[in-house]
Chains A and B, each alone.
Chain A
Amino acid sequence: MLETQKEFMITVSCIILLILTTIFLFNRSILVLAARNIIKNKRRTFILLCVIVSGLAGLMLFFGFADDSLHGLREATISSGLGHIQVYQKGYRAAAMPDKINFNIPNYREIVGIFESDAELKKYVKGMAADLDMSGLIAGHGKSTVFVGKGVDTQNFKVMNAGDEITEGKPLEHTDVFVKPEQKELTNEFEEMFEGFPVPGQDGAEKKDAPKDDKPKQEIWKDSTIEKRAANAEAAMDDALLGDGLKNALNAKLGDALTLVVSTKSGALNALDINVRGVILGVETSYNDTIVKIPMQYAWKLMGREDVSKICILLHKTEFLDLAYRRVQELVKEKNLNLETSTWVEEARMYQKVSSLLHDIFGSISFIIVLVVTFSIANAMMMSVMERTREIGTLRALGNTKNEILRLFMTEGFVIGLMGGVLSMVVGIAISIFMNDVVGGIPMAPPPGTSKAFIAHFRVVNNPLIWCITFNLAVFAAFISSILPAKKASNMEIVESIRYV
């Protein structure tokens, strides 16, 4: 079941539960008597409401905080090039890491064309781009380390990668006009490093993985130099963005030439120089420590192939995910495409971990708060039962049944819960507005595994799910806690209780 469907189901079931409880309890004279007793015991009611409100408004704020953190993480993850929906060649996701390359999409332009021309999908889609995954070694300034690279579509780069903060330099820009590349020999340093490894096009190297290029293979190996844009030289084919951590690890600076070394499909090594155009800072530390993004054409040249790992689809709003995803799946089926699809949630492991952690914490805190609220209300109601022993006896003598006495006290619990639920929502919303708009949020250090400090806000105001949860927890806690005292009240001996002093 998708996330929005789950939320909808929770909301609807809570409302149904509330309506059923109201119907079960509703009896005018019982309601009047319950309400009068609640009003009569003002101090006790006030204390009970304080207990409920302090617990549940706090819970509401925590939920709002967690939701805001998750929302931020979600949007940052989606807009770091991942998109909302990913489309792969069938078998890609199940394949082991080294074998994934065998499941790249060769006809991606045709597939993108199908998606782009669909009128329904068009309503939801903000941008679409293919990328090519790769990994290998990056070297420069006498240092080398591993990198996880992406060949990216420069045309849609800014749209698809808006979540990557450019901390230095400029983002990748689209260019399709190149000057004639100048030749550059492999540096001595790298010749020494890869001495003995097969070089594409040379004897012993696998030839079938070589790029579909008219140039001789030896030429491509050496054609690792900058291809500058003709007119203003603003964008170049070998421009690259480095993760912030990776830049620090290599002591790289803007404009530095670094070398990427990768293994091609056949296992042969290939290397190309890149020019550091900018430094990016994503959410995850591991991402920042390894990421290199280069234009797709250059990635093809490096990898010796012209296909892509996946097609990423970015939507105008994450709320469109269910509809858009369903349409993508329909298109894949209708056109009989050999593709598989996934949503961002399945790909975002960091998000999954953080989400799971926050949900566990939220669950535990909710449980404790509900327990405290339940016991507090139960204690107060038990006192109320003792104080009203004679009233209970009188009502029983007048002809009220045990069940009616039970309902009377459960109605009191329910009414206190309703009042507590409404007040908790009002107080929670008021505090969240104050914290967000007046205080401006709470500055937070980067959570474990992430690299960005952030300002925490409380997503409470436009969050009906949390209103629903808070309100229902208040009613639930008050209602549950009233069962035992109500049971005690209904089972009192009439003859003893009518003469209780």
Chain B
Amino acid sequence: MPQDSSNYVVELKDVTKKYQLGKTEVHALRGVSLAIAKGEFTTLVGESGSGKTTTLDIIGGLGKPSTGKLFIDGEDITVYNDKRLAYFRRKNIGFIFQTFNLIEVYTAYENIAHSLQLLKMPEKEIKKQVYDIMEKIGLGKFINHRPNELSGGQRQRVAIARALVKNPKIIIADEPTANLDSETGANILKLMQQLNKDLGATFIVATHSAQVVQVAKRVFKLRDGALIDSYTNK
């Protein structure tokens, strides 16, 4: 683990996560400690059930660890209540899901604008930013299309735009290319890399894809809820 913690946007310290599955107690995470630097493109790899998604959920403020600490930009968010966590998420975290998770009744524009509306940004500013990001992701023509009128790749682009438009500290992506064909997946990956470079956002991606692992700067390997390895790609 690096020495200077001020460079880290995410720090997990001895995090465990237990939950009940019927009568069985499941240990999803067993004392995971890791740190991610600002602007890094990071991947979490491991087999199914290794704890990748649980780690992402905890970093994203969607769930709380059973024990341990999570610092985002030096602030312990495990002490936040539900409302404060929601405000934390709306400002600091952008999510990209495997299944896109766009709001079906919103247009592409509205899906992206929703993140900014939550931040009480003026409508004029929202419009400008949404149009800018739509152009960046190459979906300027589809601004008024509903998700069901877009292809899988286009939907994921909208989801990426939604995550990035508010300029968050961290982008969390859970298997972002898993539901896409290889060509589209490669394009999406390229887009994420480009945006990581251009906007300086920290990407934390859980993946099975070797392609994604190859382009990541830093890789954390999990097995059975424990961090077993981490390395930096050159």
Contact = CB atoms under 8 A, between A and B. Distances in A.
Contacts of A488: none
B118 A400 contact: yes
B89 interface: yes
30 contacts: A29-B114, A32-B110, A33-B105, A33-B106, A37-B105, A40-B105, A390-B99, A390-B101, A391-B104, A394-B97, A394-B103, A395-B103, A396-B86, A397-B89, A397-B95, A397-B101, A398-B89, A398-B115, A399-B87, A399-B90, A399-B115, A399-B118, A400-B90, A400-B118, A401-B83, A401-B87, A402-B83, A495-B62, A498-B97, A498-B101
B27 interface: no
Given A40-B105, A402-B82, A397 B60 contact: yes
Interface string A40-55: 1000000000000000
B99 A499 contact: yes
Interface in A420-445: none
Nearest to B94: A398
Contacts of B118: 398-400
A494 interface: yes
A36 interface: yes
B50 to A, nearest CB: 16
Given A33-B106, A498-B101, A398 B90 contact: yes
Given A398-B115, A494-B62, A36 B106 contact: yes
B86 A391 contact: no
A388 to B, nearest CB: 9
B91 interface: yes
B95 A398 contact: yes
A398 B97 contact: no
Contacts of A498: 62, 97, 101
Interface string A2-44: 0000000000000000000000000001001100110110000
B57 interface: yes
B63 interface: yes
Interface of B: 57, 60, 62-63, 82-83, 86-87, 89-91, 93, 95, 97, 99, 101-106, 110, 114-115, 117-118, 162
Contacts of B103: 33, 391, 394-395
Given A29-B114, A495-B57, A498-B97, A400 B105 contact: no
B89 A495 contact: no
Q: Which of A399, A401, A402, A494 has the most CB of B within 10 A?
A: A399
Q: At the interface, is chain A mostly helix, strand, loop or mixed?
A: helix
A84 to B, nearest CB: 58
B89 to A, nearest CB: 4
Interface in A454-483: none
A399 B92 CA distance: 10
Contacts of A399: 86-87, 89-91, 93, 115, 118
Contacts of B57: 494-495
Given A390-B99, A394-B102, 19 more contacts: A33-B103, A36-B106, A394-B101, A394-B103, A398-B89, A398-B90, A398-B114, A398-B115, A399-B91, A400-B118, A401-B83, A402-B83, A402-B86, A493-B63, A494-B62, A494-B63, A498-B62, A499-B97, A499-B99
Q: Which of B57, B99, B101 has the most CB of A within 10 A?
A: B101
Contacts of B104: 40, 391
Nearest to A395: B103
Nearest to A493: B63
Nearest to A494: B62
A490 to B, nearest CB: 10
Contacts of A401: 82-83, 86-87
A495 B83 contact: no
Interface in A331-384: none
Nearest to A403: B83
Top-7 shortest CB links A-B: A399-B90, A36-B105, A394-B101, A401-B86, A399-B89, A494-B62, A495-B57
B87 A29 contact: no
Contacts of A395: 103
Contacts of A394: 97, 101-103
B62 A29 contact: no
Nearest to B63: A495
Nearest to A390: B101
Contacts of B106: 33, 36
Nearest to A388: B104
A393 B162 CA distance: 15
A395 B86 CA distance: 10
Nearest to B102: A394
Q: Which of A391, A397, A495, A498 has the most CB of B within 10 A?
A: A397
Nearest to A397: B95
B148 to A, nearest CB: 11
A255 B211 CA distance: 116
Nearest to B86: A401
Interface in A482-501: 493-495, 498-499
Contacts of B99: 390, 499
Nearest to B57: A495
Contacts of B90: 398-400
A401 B83 CA distance: 6
B36 to A, nearest CB: 19
Contacts of A37: 105
Contacts of A396: 62, 86
A391 B106 CA distance: 11
Contacts of B91: 399
Contacts of A402: 82-83, 86
Contacts of B87: 399, 401
Nearest to B101: A394
Nearest to B110: A32
Nearest to B117: A29
Contact of A397 (B62, B82, B83, B105): B62
